[in-house]
Structure 1
Amino acid sequence: MIAVDQLNLTIQPNEFVCIIGRSGCGKTTTLRMIAGLEAASEGNIYLNGKKITGPGAERCVVFQKYTLLPWRSILNNIAFGLEIKKINKKERHRVARKFLDLVGLSDYADALPYELSGGMQQRVAVARALAADPDVLLMDEPFGALDAQTRNSLQNELIKIWQKQRKTVLFVTHSIGEAVYLADRIILMDAKNSGVHQIFENPLPRPRDRNSSHARSFYQQVHQALEAI
């Protein structure tokens, strides 16, 4: 079975791109291939002109599950990627504290993951990815398991962080509303053709009002395109 076929996509540096589509259309498979966690049977994927052949430090993934190490403090969870890079303890803790503060959790440096709520743990996962200083942040439905209020709050936090750090973000979601709020471009994938069905340039200025007439209109445009496939 072919998960993704005839996929031709270019993402610009510092761009925030969301991929949406029905279950089975290849959203997560595409993200995992870019991450180097799965290999394409045909074709190639390049980052800054270099072929992707496996995982690399220039790409970090934030999954739907928090994947924090339960025996490590929040500070040491964030510092984990720097530890792998052999950064000395003083420097990696300095960087980890910077990103802990960036996600608003500086008071929880010594806590263990189980002591934090789900939303707080996901903020730690985002901070850990950013602390590793990747060129590309890959996010696979990172807020999908959260309640609506926490989800909206973390979307706001993510936009603030992205505007400060200016990373390239590829964000997979089932939520059209989430994509409309977050993305510069929305990639609609089609399970029938195993590839890109349509690409939407997001016309909404930042900061965005979720409830504006323009947001509702753009939501309907994307929703109608999804319903038609």
Structure 2
Amino acid sequence: MKGYIMKTIMHKSETRGTANLGWLNSHHSFSFGNYYNPERMSFGALRVLNDDIVSAGMGFGKHPHDNMEIISIPLEGALEHKDSMGNTTVIKKGDIQVMSAGTGIFHSEYNKNSDKEVKFLQIWITPNQRNVTPRYDQITLNNEDIKDNLYQILSPNDDDDGVWIHQNAWFHLGQFNEDHTENYTLKNNKNGVYIFVLEGNITIEKQELERRDGLGIWDTNEIKIESKSASKILVMEVPITH
């Protein structure tokens, strides 16, 4: 970005907050629950990034949310969702689920299987509109779309690729072979980008990221991503203030 110097903040996997409740093993990239770090409250509008493992047959009982955009991305297994809007669904790897909590909802999430864990990302984005009518949506990705490509899975637009939310945010998912290079161009140069490594090793601006590391980047128009091994990443562009 002309007149600016790119800024970054690294969150190594092992520095995340943890919660192990027996049935739930969760890692928090930002302050959540009993994990509080005043220097890691959010990355702009990205308020929560939880990496959850739920034991067989267990889950989160009915609980409320309001005025938050909630995205769930299953990584392994099957997650059963029920909510006060009347939705009962099961989401699996390859699915992307979104809820706009708005004026208020109740929902529950349980591991659908009685013989294996479910692993998923739970992501909260602060909305740009309060007290909207609650809504639910989900999509299923074609695995070919993300191979050696950053494929859009979320945007502010209901007629664009992926699910949509009440915020000027864009998510992309990519799965790369070794030695693949990808450039990400920001949709809005006032936004920042948080890159989360699901698998593998990548390099961004001479910084090496490994599995479950996160890197926040702002004051730039474009980001060069180099895959050093077979890798899978989630790129989250969100409004940011620093």
Pick the TM interval, shorter chain: 0.3 to 0.5
Compare the two structures and name the one with the higher strand fraction: 2
Q: Which has the higher contact order (CA 8 A, sep 6+)?
A: 1
TM-score for the superposition, normalised by structure 2? 0.31
Compare the two structures and name the one with the higher helix fraction: 1
